Amino acid sequence: MAGGKVVTLSDAEFDSSVIQSDKPALVDFWAEWCQPCKMLAPTVEELSEEYDGQVIVGKVNVDDNPSTATKFGIRGIPTLLLFKDGKVVQQMVGVKSKAEIKKLIDESI
């Protein structure tokens, strides 16, 4: 995954990295054992490069960071949440196409 700009987020720094950020943030909630999550990972990686400087793109491992996943009511993974001004403005559950995700980001930024 050379050249990627995806930030690994944990419970500890989630608020400072995402909620308090002045940029929108796309956060991928995933787990190591989740096959659909692995299918979505390259798309998230590509989006992080395309939106570099405009949108923070991060990943939260739900097994390692259960309190963040619980806080945002993550029940199914992969789930993508788009944050703007510290609030969730969009949510997508399941594997989505790059075009679908880009549309969501573009509508919100």
* Catalytic machinery residues: 34, 37
Q: Is 74 exposed, middle or buried (0-12, 13-18, 19+ CB in 10 A)?
A: buried
My answer on whether omega of the bond before 78 falls inside 30° of 0, hence cis, is yes
CB atoms closer than 10 angstroms to residue 64: 13
